[in-house]
Amino acid sequence: MKLTSTASRKLAALSLDEIKEAQQEASRQFEEFKARGLSLNMARGKPCVEQLDLALGVLEALHARSEFANSNGDDCRNYGVWNGLPEMRAIFGELLGIPDDLIILGNNSSLQMMFDCISQGYTHGYSGCEPWCRQGDVKFLCPAPGYDRHFAVTEYFGIQMIPVPMLKTGPDMDLIERLVQDETVKGCWCVPKYSNPTGVTFSDETVRRFARLKPAAKDFRIMWDNAYCVHDLTDEPDQLLNIYEECLKHGTEDQVLIFASTSKISFPGAGVAALAASKRNIDDLKLRTTVQTIGSDKLNQLRHVLFLHDADGVRSLMKGHRRILEPKFHIVLDALEQELGGLGIARWSHPHGGYFVNLDVMNGCARQVVALCKEAGVVLTDAGATFPYGADPNDSNIRIAPSFPPEEELREAMELLCIAVRLAATEKLLYERAE
């Protein structure tokens, strides 16, 4: 029996014999796949070679150039300009909708800037409060599924993580509003646009509720990681409300730290990262930053400015990314629809941008699906990685990263993934019926 032909019938509604038949079919297909000896990797959301080629102009921008001064006359080859090139700050300023003088440029990684901000809270504190390390047990809110590296940073500092469910509108704000009444809760991670991995963009109301939060802790910080702020994949991109402007309306601007980078605009690992924050936070951060470094890599910032020119330059470059990424997202979504649609054994996101498709399989099946794929040569993000401490309470979430593999390989990997989902689901149903 070919399961795709029963698309209108839920798998759980089939008779025992039909499920057995479906399991045998999936098992046979799986063995066939294993024999192909594949070696594919869909574990991380990395741009593919063609995307990286779009930004080769960055490397050429300084070639044979004799003029290295920025608009203020600072020589970009030398030390100085602690907060980064004004022209590059202006680009981030426009993309994020935040005044340029509230932006600090880092080096190649916004994650490193996030790490530094958590580190600063931990060792020196915010808003004149005791450092977190002297306040006993402190906690962070972690909307989940979320970005595993956020959770890794939090865990590294021994900060207790509290998972908060992600809804279609963003994190569960009722829960967040309750949890921040606890003074030991010091912050919340957010990927507000095309969230990693759910693809959700926070609704206007969610952004307003974040801006209106009145946490018990004065040193509470929202880590607003806007990594996918310009990473649209459709003609109707999601619109994210400007949290900084909303915070200004309520006098809460000190409680948000905003991050972005060109990692998925130019080069991951060799782009430019940025942090935007209130004047008071910038002053606090300056105290650390100017001890930590005599200045970020201004030559890299200069070559990015020469290549990108301005925010419109970024937007037009992102259209090139979309031309490469959109067909890959379609491959993933078409495979899911054709192979799993209507079976009632999986749900998935239809993101308008970002880097991921979020797949939820039957409870208790995610680890098995990821293990099956690995056995047949396709590496996915570890099941559970999208939850604090790697603990997915339902063992159901799988992150699909379509960007890196070539289209043909992606098709193959998706075929295998769908077979693995069906195999795990049929085995689970057979087990349940045998009980």
Instruction: Answer yes or no whether residue 261 interacts with ligand PLP by CB under 6 A.
Output: yes
Which residue bears the tokens 């070696």? 39
Query: Distance (Å, rounded) from C-alpha 85 to C-alpha 215?
Result: 35
Using CB under 6 A, which residues numbered 158 to 177 contact ligand PLP?
none
Instruction: Answer yes or no whether residue 268 interacts with ligand PLP by CB under 6 A.
Output: yes
Size of the site for ligand PLP (CB under 6 A): 13
Query: Distance (Å, rounded) from C-alpha 42 to C-alpha 152?
Result: 20
State which of residues 96, 161, 240, 273 lies at the interface with ligand PLP (CB under 6 A): 273
Binding mask 376-415 for ligand PLP (x = CB under 6 A): ----------------------------------------
Estimate to the nearest angstrom the gap between the alpha carbon of 174 and the chain centroid: 23
3 state SS for 178-225: HHCCCCCEEEEEECCCCCCCCCCCCCHHHHHHHHHCCCCCCCCEEEEE
Q: How far is the CB of 39 from ligand PLP (least distance, A)?
A: 23
Nearer to ligand PLP, 191 or 385 (CB): 191
Using CB under 6 A, which residues numbered 299 to 358 contact ligand PLP?
none
Q: How far is the CB of 268 from ligand PLP (least distance, A)?
A: 5
Query: Distance (Å, rounded) from C-alpha 207 to C-alpha 393?
Result: 27
Instruction: Answer yes or no whether residue 45 interacts with ligand PLP by CB under 6 A.
Output: yes
Instruction: Answer yes or no whether residue 147 interacts with ligand PLP by CB under 6 A.
Output: yes
Query: Distance (Å, rounded) from C-alpha 379 to C-alpha 41?
Result: 5
State which of residues 213, 227, 302, 305 lies at the interface with ligand PLP (CB under 6 A): 227
Element (H, E) at 422: helix 407-434
Do 89 and 296 form a contact (C-beta atoms < 8 A)?
no
Using CB under 6 A, which residues numbered 99 to 128 contact ligand PLP?
109-111
DSSP structure string for 71-135? TT--BTTSS--TT--HHHHHHHHHHHTS-GGGEEE-SS-HHHHHHHHHHHHHHT-STTPPPGGGS
Nearer to ligand PLP, 325 or 343 (CB): 325
* 266-279 residues labelled b (16+ CB within 10 A) or e (exposed): bbbebbbbbbbbbe
Nearer to ligand PLP, 147 or 220 (CB): 147
Q: Which stretch binds ligand PLP (CB under 6 A): 124-132, 261-269, 287-295, 424-432?
A: 261-269
Q: How far is the CB of 361 from ligand PLP (least distance, A)?
A: 22
Instruction: Answer yes or no whether residue 263 interacts with ligand PLP by CB under 6 A.
Output: yes
State which of residues 51, 196, 281, 300 lies at the interface with ligand PLP (CB under 6 A): 196
Question: Which pair of tokens denotes residue 182?
Answer: 């606890």
**Side chain identity at 302, as an amino acid letter?**
L
Nearer to ligand PLP, 191 or 370 (CB): 191
Binding mask 49-88 for ligand PLP (x = CB under 6 A): ----------------------------------------
Instruction: Answer yes or no whether residue 185 interacts with ligand PLP by CB under 6 A.
Output: no
Query: Distance (Å, rounded) from C-alpha 416 to C-alpha 407?
Result: 14
Nearer to ligand PLP, 126 or 224 (CB): 224
Nearer to ligand PLP, 159 or 265 (CB): 265
Residues in the chain: 435
Residue 6 backbone dihedrals phi, psi, to 5 degrees: -105, 25
Question: Which pair of tokens denotes residue 427?
Answer: 């085995």
Query: Distance (Å, rounded) from C-alpha 59 to C-alpha 355?
Result: 24
Residues in contact with ligand PLP by CB under 6 A are: 45, 109-111, 147, 191, 196, 225, 227, 261, 263, 268, 273
